[in-house]
């Protein structure tokens, strides 16, 4: 048996319950990993609230790092017992002492990275990479707007866009976070809690608008984000931190200048082993070259404090990667 955080019904953080459950068995193409750290991602809150429905009961959680305990049958890409790995695809869920993980989306942690930063490189690092070099191709001179630019994903989208030569505008809610977004590389930061971000974006771009908006805020910003785009610009709608946006009327896209909208999810950008390896190797290289600066949030929570970890992220307190550590 092992300890796991289980979800039997959707609701507030209080529905996350510690239980003792059977250790899962790795099936074909899977590994069993003893977690040292577990990522707490915004998507976990969507699963908990039912915004993204999942069959219940379930163990939630998408990424983590730890030690391979057992190797399943089939293609497991040479992983062996005792390997130190990080992963971002787990059929059994990561909020547990042990998790089954898909070997195809698992990587050996290089010596220069600790488990905490390796885990931070998984969903947040890989998503930032996939969204600037996949969902949309940011290029030298691209004008980019990143919402929640001081947040975990936001900071990395800013860094990656800058690395590719873009001019980056960020939005955030407080003066303190504005400094963090500027330190991440934003050329301009708009306090969308105080100013109309559409007008500000137009002002900063001298009426032109931006080529791409990364909108992970959703309900509160989505329509405004369309108005920030230049003709034939692209909205990358990638999250719902403020709630699910209203359905989008397609006619709006032609009316506002032949815009395009994409709603990407990381899983579709790491489908095959070569695709995953290419992205993760580049992310690790960017980290080593100090071009992607991951931030691990303190405190690191214990597994039994999963409720607190969810309250922390939902209270907009994170400017990096929220983690739980197994003692
Ligand atoms: P963040 O650290 O960015 O936290 C979310 C941020 O959203 C907050 O800090 C806050 O920043 C902003 N926000 C705006 N309105 C609200 C609100 N009403 N309630 C709470 N927060 C609000 O989290 P993550 O980096 O983990 O994730 C960021 C987003 O990216 C999430 O929406 C997540 O779902 C999405 N994502 C999508 C992926 C995909 O594959 N599509 C993969 C990974 C993440 P501020 O105070 O500056 O406004």
Pocket test for ligand 1, best of 216, 221, 322, 324 (most atoms within 8 A of CB): 216
* Predicted model pTM: 0.97
> What's the pLDDT tens digit per position in 244-271?
999 999 999 999 999 999 999 999 999 9
Name the one residue in this structure whose structure tokens are 């209080």.
14
- Ligand 1 atom 17: the closest Cα is on which residue? 242
User: Which atom of ligand 1 is least distant from the CA of 149?
Assistant: 47
Q: What integer pLDDT is reported at residue 97 of this predicted model?
A: 98
Question: What pLDDT sits at residue 327?
Answer: 77
241: CA distance to ligand 1 center in Å?
A: 5
113 lines ligand 1 (CB under 6 A): no
pLDDT at 252: 96
Mean pLDDT for the stretch of residues 77-92: 98
Q: Give the model confidence (pLDDT) of 111-139 as tens digits.
A: 999 999 999 999 999 999 999 999 999 99
314 CA distance to ligand 1 middle (Å): 9
The percentage of the chain sitting over the pLDDT mark of 70, rounded to a whole number, equals: 100
Domains of the chain with CATH codes: 2-123+272-325 (3.90.180.10), 135-263 (3.40.50.720)
**pLDDT given for residue 137 in this prediction:** 98
Q: How many residues does the chain have?
A: 327
Residue 140 CA to residue 152 CA, distance in Å, equals 24
Position in ligand 1 atom list of the atom nearest CA 130: 40
User: Which are the contacts of 114, defined by CB distance < 8 A and separation ≥ 6?
Assistant: none
- pLDDT classification of 148: cutoffs 50, 70, 90: very high
What lies within 8 Å, CB to CB, of 232 at 6+ separation is 257, 258, 259, 260
C-alpha 78 – ligand 1 centre gap (Å): 35
């Amino acid at each position: 048996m092992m300890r796991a955080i289980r979800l039997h019904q959707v609701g507030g953080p209080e529905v996350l319950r510690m239980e003792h459950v059977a250790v899962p068995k790795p099936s074909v193409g899977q590994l069993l990993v003893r977690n040292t750290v577990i990522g707490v991602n915004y998507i976990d809150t969507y699963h908990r609230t039912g915004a993204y429905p999942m069959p219940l009961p379930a163990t939630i959680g998408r990424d983590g790092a730890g030690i391979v305990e057992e190797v399943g049958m089939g293609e497991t890409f040479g992983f062996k017992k005792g390997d130190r790995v990080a992963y971002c695809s787990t059929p059994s869920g990561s909020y547990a002492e042990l998790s089954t993980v898909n070997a195809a989306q698992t990587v050996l942690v290089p010596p220069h990275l600790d488990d905490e930063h390796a885990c931070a490189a998984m969903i947040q690092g890989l998503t930032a990479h996939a969204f600037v070099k996949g969902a949309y191709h940011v290029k030298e001179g691209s004008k980019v707007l990143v919402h929640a630019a001081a947040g975990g994903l936001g900071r990395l989208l800013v860094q990656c866009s800058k690395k590719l030569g873009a001019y980056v505008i960020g939005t955030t809610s407080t003066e303190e976070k504005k400094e963090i977004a500027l330190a991440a590389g934003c050329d301009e930061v708009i306090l969308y809690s105080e100013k109309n971000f559409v007008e500000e974006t137009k002002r900063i771009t001298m009426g032109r608008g931006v080529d791409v908006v990364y909108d992970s805020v959703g309900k509160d910003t989505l329509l405004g984000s369309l108005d920030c785009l230049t003709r034939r610009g692209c909205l990358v709608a990638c999250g719902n931190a403020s709630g699910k946006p209203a359905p989008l009327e397609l006619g709006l896209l032609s009316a506002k200048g032949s815009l395009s909208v994409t709603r990407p999810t990381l899983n579709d950008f790491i489908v095959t082993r070569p695709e995953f390896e290419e992205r993760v190797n580049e992310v690790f290289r960017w980290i080593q070259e100090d071009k992607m600066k991951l931030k691990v949030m303190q405190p690191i929570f214990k597994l039994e404090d999963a409720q607190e970890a969810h309250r922390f992220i939902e209270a907009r307190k994170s400017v990096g990667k929220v983690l739980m550590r197994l003692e």
